[in-house]
Structure formats: structure tokens, C-alpha cells
Amino acid sequence: MEIIQIVGYKNSGKTTLVKALIETLADQGIRVASLKHHGHGGAPLGIEETDSEQHRRAGAVLSGVEGDGLFQVSKEQAWDIDQMLAIFRLMDIEVVIMEGFKKQSYNKIVLIRSEEDLHLLNEVTNIKAVLTPLELKQENYAYLVFKKTEMDALVEWISLRIQ
Amino acid sequence: MEIIQIVGYKNSGKTTLVKALIETLADQGIRVASLKHHGHGGAPLGIEETDSEQHRRAGAVLSGVEGDGLFQVSKEQAWDIDQMLAIFRLMDIEVVIMEGFKKQSYNKIVLIRSEEDLHLLNEVTNIKAVLTPLELKQENYAYLVFKKTEMDALVEWISLRIQ
């Protein structure tokens, strides 16, 4: 199972890139999954959260609620990435597009909005490419630099690497 | 992994029994999980449903959102029970208390509110016990009959069977 992380601050274009990647890979018949943190702080609350909460309080290790294609699994402690990826593996996923989780060490595409974001390049590991509106000189970087306008080329480059 | 189904109509006391079972089993150090259908029709909507929806529309087979112990996994088609149970197995769950899903054939406790509910006993398989306010004659049934007031005894009987 191949894992690609898309890392960048808010409004750096993560969602657009993630969707373009999913579309391109899915079109090639690849079983793609996405994984992201809940962005607004706190849990991705659902209608049934109260019920799950009650079961967890009663001592359930896991509490699952299912309906119309959505399966919510609550757990007392935070999920670790490996547990979530194990579930994806179980479902025969071939490629995971992971949004965020920047402390993880999977291959990364980093989105840089402006010079204030450049420090991110020193804080994460395994960068394979950068997408940015800035004029960065390719020769200064050990990974590919794509201009913001070249997103399609970046998506194509990733999809060729995956096959 | 042991699976126990709690089956009964609305307001038959399912939630109370499920919680009592979770508490008792968890107290014994057993890794318990609960599984239920979303009760209100439709999906257990979460704040991030829109995002997951977008990813699914782009072609993702699975779309996962995680935050504060809750992991929501959306899938284009409905989840089947075996897929959900496989996830629980992966998490080393020892006992699953399944609320509803009455067409499944796991061991069942059936909750009967009144005579109008009695037909349920002919419609589900693998009944191991019944909990009811009705005066049912034990000798007429191939499974144990517990009076509604004997819920504690039922919970104890289940927990002894599990060890």
C-alpha cells in the first residue's frame, strides 16, 4: 500500500490537490483512499456521538455506528496512524492520500503559500515535491519544485511514480 | 471473537441492556466493542461528511476522517457486517455487542415489550434468551426466558457463558 502525504498550511490548496490526485488515480483503476485529521479541533461529531459516548463510558474499547456507507468508530484513546492504515489495508486499498499528519515520515508533497511557509520544508521528512507560487530555484532543492500553475504536471508525475 | 446480538423494537430497553453488558464484561477485563445501525435513517452525519463526500465523488474507495478518538470511514457502498467485524478483530476485540441487524445469525437476546412483539421470536435465528415483562412459560421455549425485572441475572448469565 503506497502512502502519499499532502502537507501545507490552511488555504494552501491541499483539498484541490487531494481531489485531483484521487480522480487521476481512480481513473487508472487504482483503489484510492483518503485520510485526514478533523480540521476544526475536537472530534468530527456525529448525530450518534452521544450513543457511542455512552458505550465508551460503560467501558467499550470501540463503539461503531453504521449507516448509509458511513462507519463511525469511536475509541477511548486517540487513533494511531498505524491502526487506521491497517483498516485501509484490510479493505485492499492500494494508495492512501493522507492530508496533514505532518510528523509522519511517508513520502510528502509540501504546499508552500508564501515565504512565511518556507520553514515547513525544514520541519518535515521525505519531501518528494513542492508546489508553490514562489519562484524557487530547482537547483537549491533535493526534490522537485512545481509552480502552483503546474498542479496537473505534479499530479501526472505522482501518478506515473505510483504505477 | 464472540458476537452477541441484542434485538428488539424501539423502547424495548436495548440501550440499557447493551450498557449493562458492556459494563459487566469490561469490569472483567474483557475487550468489548459495540456495533449498531444508525437509528434515524440515513447516515450518521458528521461535520466532515462534506469533505468525505467530495473525496468519494472524486473516486476514493474509502475516505477517513479522524479526530479525538473518533474515526469516520465513508465508503461508496454500504458496509457489510463482515467488513466491520474484520476491523474489530484487527483491534483485538474479544466480545462485540451488536444492537439490531436482526437478519444476522449470531447468538441473540431478544427483547419483547408486549404480545404484539412476540412474532419477532419466529423471525430471527439463534435466540439464546428473551427478556420481557410478559409472563411467558419457560417450558414453552427452547431458550431461557428472563422477566424484565431480572435483567441483572440475564447479564450475569451472559457474562458467565462468555468466560
The DSSP result for B142-162, as a single string, is: SSEEEEGGGHHHHHHHHHHHH
Q: Is the ipTM of this complex over 0.95?
A: no
Judged against a pLDDT cut of 90, whether residue B69 lies above it is answered with no
A positions 103-162 inside 8 Å of B (CB) = none
Mutate to test the interface with A, among B70, B80, B94 (most CBs of A within 10 A): B70
How many Å apart are CA B2 and CA B95, to the nearest integer? 5
Judged against a pLDDT cut of 50, whether residue B47 lies above it is answered with no
Smallest CA-to-CA distance from B32 within B77, B81, B98 is with: B98
Domain membership flag for residue A51: no
Domain membership flag for residue A45: no
Q: Are B95 and B34 in contact (CB under 8 A)?
A: no
Domain of residue A91: give its range: 2-40+79-162
Domain membership flag for residue A48: no
Residue numbers in B near A19 (CB within 8 A): 54-55, 58
Domain membership flag for residue A52: no
Q: Are B5 and B107 in contact (CB under 8 A)?
A: yes
Domain membership flag for residue A47: no
The pLDDT confidence band at residue B8, using thresholds 50, 70 and 90, is very high
How many Å apart are CA B3 and CA A55, to the nearest integer? 16
Mutate to test the interface with A, among B55, B74, B82, B96 (most CBs of A within 10 A): B55
- Residue A41 zone, left/alpha/beta (φ > 0; ψ -120 to 50; rest): left
Q: What is the pLDDT of residues A85-129, one digit of tens each?
A: 999 999 999 999 999 999 999 999 999 999 999 999 999 999 999
pTM here is 0.87
Structural domain count, chain A: 1
Domain membership flag for residue A65: no
> Would you state the pLDDT for residue B70?
84
Smallest CA-to-CA distance from A14 within A44, A29, A35 is with: A35
The pLDDT confidence band at residue B30, using thresholds 50, 70 and 90, is very high
Q: What is the CATH number of the domain that holds A145?
A: 3.40.50.300
